[in-house]
Structure 1
Amino acid sequence: MKRPIATALLLFIASPALANWSVMSPDATREIQVRQNSTKGLEYRILLHGKNQREILGWSHLGPVIQGFQLSQNPLEAEISDFSTTVKFLGEKNAQGKDEYTLTTGKRKHNIAAYRALTLSFSDMETAMHLDLELRAYNDGLAFRYVLPETSDRHYQMVSETTAFNVGQGATFWGQPYDFTTAFHPSYETAWLQLPSGSAAPQNLGVGWGFPSLIEKDGAWALLHEAGLDESFHGSHLQPEAEGGNYRIAPPSAGTALGHGMNIAASTLPWQMPWRFVITGEALAEVVESNLTTHLAPPARIENTDWIEPGISSWSWLSDHDSSRNLDTLKKFIDTAAAMGWRYSLIDANWNTIADDAMEQLLAHAEKKNVRLLFWYNSGGRHNFITEQPRNRITEREKRRAEFARLHRLGVAGIKVDFFQSDKQDIIRLYQEILADAADFQLLVNFHGSTIPRGWRRTWPNLISMEAVRGGEFYTFQAETDYDDQAPRQNSILPFARNVIGPMDYTPGYFSQPLAGRKTTSAHEAALLVLFETGIQHIGDSTESLLNLPDDYRDYLRHLPSTWDETHLLAGYPGEHAVIARRSGRRWYIAGINGEAEAKTLQLNISQLGGLADSALMLHDDSHEPFAARKLKLESSESLTITMAANGGVVLRF
């Protein structure tokens, strides 16, 4: 419903006087400002206060356009509240808070998140509908979200959204093209690109830019993302065009989920929409080490998490795509997990086609080996037509809960659910329902063919991993003949972008030679197992390759943690190299990879790593020995020099 012409004229000739608000982080280093412009509506910008004040995001537009109507009402008579234009200011409320919480898996187990908050209340000039703009400032980033605070059983839709991130020109942008709609996409599996800010998404690669996106600007860093997403909203991404470096929010593609479900969000009131946020800092480490994604997520909905056990898993599919139809092969991979001292083995697609009692046979074998099993399921349902089995057991709640009850009764550890291919609200609701029902039956969950993490691991600690990455499986696709060339550079971007926001089931540790070839060294592959964080690390190499590794490599794999007490970035630049230190209990790991085709030597500051032993097991590059390892004597507690070959890597275990 359009505004009356007279009102529009009054708004046009009104004075463009500004109202301004601001909230600053507890340590006064980060600030989000909001202004009300009578001709442009609400805008915000983000400042970083350090040695020099920097404008990380310039003035960026805010505002949803909300349509509300009774379900029986003619849509043409629906009432539209346009918060993207001039709104009436009602009041403000300041607050501060501190969250303390523990993650079962992640880059840091214990988290303390202090923040300052500001809520600005507005109403639409025509409909008098209320909108709260909630702002939060943390010591590592800033966030905002829209809340419709009134109570109503009417049906409301966000028909459009003007939210933007005005990066401006002259910055460097790392982004992942948002997939075309196909039988297997979108699934966040495109290659990451490095371009000048404002570059459009290449038309041959996708229909927009995905979250998260990484920015380097004026000697500072910023990562754009969203969190706190639940069943009341869809997953968003960024528009393909970003004129002048202004990146605008986009809804899911309409054709995903085979066209089922709306690609705009809908809810009754009250309605809390997702947080959009920017992690920012002068050092790249401030981005990598941030847990702002989980800070902004709702608290855990599982009281007792004792049954949630992170670990390492064998996985047969990567080295043998037909293995999950063969009982003997699957048993061999269970035996490999036992021999390596790993807790899990993953049984992939079509296991149910072996025999009616295939699950029972595999579980009986695994129990003898003290290995727990994870089983694959197709998420479809009407939203995909992929025939991999088992399917049609997940989308309907009654069937899903009956299946989960059976899995719990049999002693299954968890499930891998695949082929979602949509960010629509209906599919986001399905994710949430799977996690809730799986928690009721003490099942771990790994999502594949999936959306990206948005803090769900805090709310649902049984979520142990999500794919949403161009991972190790691409080595096995003959059509991806250039993946061996791409992998070193892609691997050295992921720690600074995709893996910042949550668990990443890349399936690293491919020591044998895949069909498409591999340019990375063995030390590079070993380093990925620490560099890439996830609740269960699925190692996809063959049993023959794993069991024939040298003793030092096998010892490293046998004692590999999958949960971390703290994480530090020691060195790196996206696309060039990455070195990360992680601590699990009293043991430190330093893992580095080289993403470039030239050898490099790095001087690392290790003074922040408390309690290092004076010697370490070192897996390193050697042109004469593909699995080189030695004992390293630490000569200084302040610095450490490492050398990596072209596309190489290094691991140190203290």
Structure 2
Amino acid sequence: MMNKPSLLRLTHITIFIAMAALSLLANAKTLDERQWQVKSPNGKIEIRVRGNKALGLEYQIVHWHNEQEKVAVDWSKMGITSRYYDVNEQQLIPIDTDFSKDLTYFRGKRIRGKQTYSMVTGKRKENEVAYYQRSLNFKHDITNQILRVDFRALDTGAAFRYVLPNNGVLHHQLRAEITEFNIGTNAQHWGQPYDFITMYHPSYETEYVNVPAGTSTPEKLGTGWGFPSLFNTNGLWVLLHESGLGKQFHGSHLQPDAPNGVYKIAGPLAEEALGNGSIYPAGAGEWKMPWRSFAVSNDIGDIVESNLVYDLAEPSKIDDVKWIKPGAASWSWWSDHTSSTDIKSLKAFIVLADKMGWPYSLVDANWPDASETAMQDLVAYAKERKVGLLFWYNSGGPNNFIPEQPRNILHDRQSRRKEFKRISALGVKGIKVDFFQSDKQFVIEQYLSILEDAAEFKLLVVFHGCTIPRGWERTWPNLMTMEAVRGGEFYTFSEDIPYGLYAPKQNTILPFTRNVVGSMDYTPVAYTHRQSKRYTTFAHETALPIIFESGIQHLADTPDAFLKMPEVYKDYFWKLPTSWDETKFLAGAPGEEVIIARRKGKKWYVAGINGENEAKEWKVDFSKLINRGTEARLYTDSEEEKYFSLKLTIPKGKKMSITVQPFGGFVMVFKEPK
């Protein structure tokens, strides 16, 4: 028979439990009692956090320069509402936790971090990033649920993310995100309206507009503001975006209204993907949500050169990347939308790639209609010429209603892997996957599963009709590029879409916005006029493959356009690099002009484009180009010649005056130094 515990023993246990509880409570702090800060290693970026019992958590981002602080993002609300289910007599009872209020702080952690990583694609090959991080843990006073918020300050910007700690195998849902971005109204905004839902959208293909901060999305243009969004506020440049998006979350954007310049986070719309899939993401285990990121500087060049989206992304999941080769590609669809069903036309573009030293050619939609053995025949033909082929696939599945073929393969993992195994064995080098039309979680999971399976079978990947880049090129280096831009294909659509009118201005906004956050498949070089009239000059078009970064650069025009140009222009396009060891911003302003220098090996390429309808004289400073040569060839506009170029000698330390035509441009290729 068991002995009953003595009264003295019970008293000791009771006192011990009470003391432990008092100790925990003593360490817990109400939000009204605490503020936190974290500064970047160089001291330029500071994140401040404060709490209020009723109002919850708020953050502020400050930039320091010459011992003076400027507010980049003023005090802004933050928090999420999560849901889990309590099982009571086999009934699911939803338990919602509003982490925007009723919080108690109980533990924190400081981290000093440093990373080095290499990129296969992008603006800079070798990267080193240092940061300070502060993780704050909060308990909800009513539901006892735990929320961790990681705040990270880097030399080039700031970021934070929400984390639900490991709560077992059951999923939690995100019911709402309360994150705000208080830019204020004394600022300018360069933003891309989030697409309406149509047969082909949303796909981040609207034009960027410049409006005062706080302006609502124009009703005729979209249903919100997309990421990335650029702001000029208080003498600072701020680029809002997100990174580290995984399978357990959806893609986000900004709500259409921003009263008093306070922007709010938004998730995908319920009608996206034909209504399939939930708008409430769910995650299990330690649920890390995407980083809310802020590239911040008083110099717009730092924004253009920023790799913050990759600094925050998950490290590469591919150990051996030697098989991943960026490069230029010929592309038949731009000049003839039906060319992918004609073997003769496709072979002409394979020959073009061969003669121009480009490693790839793209076979676009409906290629199975060319013949039953189209893939095998084309791969064999291209192999003889040492040209690798990429083939187009429809992402649908249930997410779209677009009939282009092949479809109903890549949405299902079993059929997808079977197809990847088959085409890899044939010698196909990569795939272009199109028409995703949603940022819902199940579609994000499809993107990442495609990349994972393609990596196993050593296939390169291009996404079109897709979401915006969010750092995936670091995590999955076989991702060569993504569309998510109103690009060169719009020249081929109806004259009722006046793409040519606003393309010059757009081209000078994209290097400060869309192309900052990842490779951009704009499909440049449109010498030939199509349905929508082109207003850019030949030199402007010639400059675009340098201005725009894309791991695979699909060069749009025809074999005749490239093969009949003067030899000196062929020399420029011959084996044109598409991935870069270094990138330097030399001059420019969004919507007006931009001059960018990129280095491959020991060779520097400098390109500039004019987004305005007036001639300009630029004094270009090359002092940032370390170890450049002094001999160069200039490609620019001339009233007498369509293809104009000349050799130059530019001594070290000397600026050069370059005159460009309205909507014009130039390229300068420096000879490698001896």
TM-score per shorter chain, which class? over 0.9
CA distance in 1, matches of 2:543, 2:235: 28
Q: 1:552–1:72: structure 2 CA closer, same or farther, 3 Å change rule?
A: farther
Instruction: State whether residues 166 and 284 of structure 2, in contact with CA within 8 Å, keep that contact through their aligned partners in structure 1.
Output: no
Runs of 4+ in 1 over 6 A off after TM superposition: 71-76
Aligned partner of residue 633 in structure 2, secondary structure:
strand
- Residue number among 240, 261, 272 corresponding to 1:256 in the alignment: 272
Aligned partner of residue 563 in structure 1, secondary structure:
coil
Tell me which amino acid in the other structure corresponds to 2:204: Y
- Residue number among 65, 68, 93 corresponding to 1:50 in the alignment: 65
Which residue of structure 2 aligns with residue 23 of structure 1? 38
- Residue number among 297, 303, 323 corresponding to 1:307 in the alignment: 323
CA distance in 2, matches of 1:72, 1:473: 56
Aligned partner of residue 77 in structure 1, secondary structure:
strand
Distance apart, 1:480 and its partner CA: 4.5
Q: 1:543–1:61: structure 2 CA closer, same or farther, 3 Å change rule?
A: same
Matches within 5 A, 1:227-266: 227-266=243-282
Deviation track 1:66-108 (CA, whole Å, cap 9, x = no partner) reads 0111689988721111101131101111111101000011100
Deviation track 1:9-47 (CA, whole Å, cap 9, x = no partner) reads xxxxx9993521000000000101000112210000100
Aligned partner of residue 151 in structure 1, secondary structure:
coil
Distance apart, 1:150 and its partner CA: 2.7
Deviation track 1:514-562 (CA, whole Å, cap 9, x = no partner) reads 2211100111001100010010100010111111111111110013111
Matches within 5 A, 1:439-478: 439-478=455-494
| Residue 49 of structure 2 is aligned to residue 34 of structure 1 | yes
Matches within 5 A, 1:34-433: 34-51=49-66, 52-69=68-85, 77-433=93-449
Which residue of structure 2 aligns with residue 605 of structure 1? 621
Tell me which amino acid in the other structure corresponds to 2:167: T
Which residue of structure 1 aligns with residue 6 of structure 2? none
Aligned partner of residue 150 in structure 1, secondary structure:
coil
Aligned partner of residue 368 in structure 2, secondary structure:
helix
CA distance in 2, matches of 1:300, 1:74: 43
Which residue of structure 1 aligns with residue 605 of structure 2? 589
CA distance in 2, matches of 1:480, 1:377: 28
TM-score scaled by length of structure 1? 0.96
Matches within 5 A, 1:557-572: 557-572=573-588
CA distance in 1, matches of 2:86, 2:612: 58
Task: Kindly name which structure, 1 or 2, has the bigger radius of gyration based on alpha carbons.
Answer: 2
Which residue of structure 2 aligns with residue 6 of structure 1? none
Distance apart, 1:605 and its partner CA: 2.4
CA distance in 2, matches of 1:504, 1:481: 21
Q: 1:644–1:40: structure 2 CA closer, same or farther, 3 Å change rule?
A: same
Distance apart, 1:607 and its partner CA: 1.1
Which residue of structure 2 aligns with residue 647 of structure 1? 663
Instruction: State whether residues 69 and 75 of structure 1, in contact with CA within 8 Å, keep that contact through their aligned partners in structure 2.
Output: no
CA distance in 2, matches of 1:548, 1:219: 48
Which residue of structure 1 aligns with residue 564 of structure 2? 548
Q: 1:512–1:74: structure 2 CA closer, same or farther, 3 Å change rule?
A: farther
CA distance in 2, matches of 1:148, 1:630: 61
Aligned partner of residue 153 in structure 1, secondary structure:
coil
Aligned partner of residue 167 in structure 2, secondary structure:
strand
CA distance in 1, matches of 2:91, 2:377: 56
Distance apart, 1:138 and its partner CA: 0.4
CA distance in 1, matches of 2:496, 2:602: 41
Distance apart, 1:436 and its partner CA: 0.2
Distance apart, 1:641 and its partner CA: 2.3
CA distance in 2, matches of 1:380, 1:15: 50
Which residue of structure 2 aligns with residue 622 of structure 1? 638
Output the aligned Cα RMSD: 1.4
Instruction: State whether residues 252 and 263 of structure 1, in contact with CA within 8 Å, keep that contact through their aligned partners in structure 2.
Output: yes
CA distance in 1, matches of 2:295, 2:208: 19
Instruction: State whether residues 315 and 475 of structure 2, in contact with CA within 8 Å, keep that contact through their aligned partners in structure 1.
Output: yes
Unaligned runs of 5+ in 2: 1-28
Instruction: State whether residues 31 and 103 of structure 2, in contact with CA within 8 Å, keep that contact through their aligned partners in structure 1.
Output: no
Instruction: State whether residues 71 and 155 of structure 1, in contact with CA within 8 Å, keep that contact through their aligned partners in structure 2.
Output: no
Instruction: State whether residues 71 and 154 of structure 1, in contact with CA within 8 Å, keep that contact through their aligned partners in structure 2.
Output: no
Unaligned runs of 5+ in 1: 1-13
CA distance in 2, matches of 1:584, 1:653: 11
- Paired residues in the alignment total 641
Instruction: State whether residues 130 and 150 of structure 1, in contact with CA within 8 Å, keep that contact through their aligned partners in structure 2.
Output: no
Tell me which amino acid in the other structure corresponds to 1:256: E
Decide which moves more: 644-653 or 556-565.
Answer: 556-565
CA distance in 1, matches of 2:283, 2:235: 41
Distance apart, 1:626 and its partner CA: 1.3
CA distance in 2, matches of 1:570, 1:417: 35
Q: 1:416–1:322: structure 2 CA closer, same or farther, 3 Å change rule?
A: same
Decide which moves more: 551-560 or 408-417.
Answer: 551-560
CA distance in 2, matches of 1:93, 1:69: 30
TM-score scaled by length of structure 2? 0.94
Instruction: State whether residues 69 and 155 of structure 1, in contact with CA within 8 Å, keep that contact through their aligned partners in structure 2.
Output: no
Aligned partner of residue 286 in structure 2, secondary structure:
strand
Instruction: State whether residues 31 and 104 of structure 2, in contact with CA within 8 Å, keep that contact through their aligned partners in structure 1.
Output: no
Distance apart, 1:635 and its partner CA: 3.7
Decide which moves more: 263-272 or 533-542.
Answer: 263-272
Aligned partner of residue 474 in structure 2, secondary structure:
helix
Tell me which amino acid in the other structure corresponds to 2:44: T
| Residue 512 of structure 2 is aligned to residue 496 of structure 1 | yes
Identity, in percent, stands at 49
CA distance in 2, matches of 1:550, 1:140: 43
Decide which moves more: 36-45 or 234-243.
Answer: 36-45
Tell me which amino acid in the other structure corresponds to 2:404: E
Distance apart, 1:410 and its partner CA: 0.4
Which residue of structure 1 aligns with residue 13 of structure 2? none
Q: 1:45–1:85: structure 2 CA closer, same or farther, 3 Å change rule?
A: same
Distance apart, 1:632 and its partner CA: 1.7
Instruction: State whether residues 86 and 93 of structure 2, in contact with CA within 8 Å, keep that contact through their aligned partners in structure 1.
Output: no
Q: 1:368–1:71: structure 2 CA closer, same or farther, 3 Å change rule?
A: farther
Aligned partner of residue 165 in structure 2, secondary structure:
strand
Deviation track 1:165-189 (CA, whole Å, cap 9, x = no partner) reads 1101110000000001111000000
Deviation track 1:585-605 (CA, whole Å, cap 9, x = no partner) reads 000000100000001112222
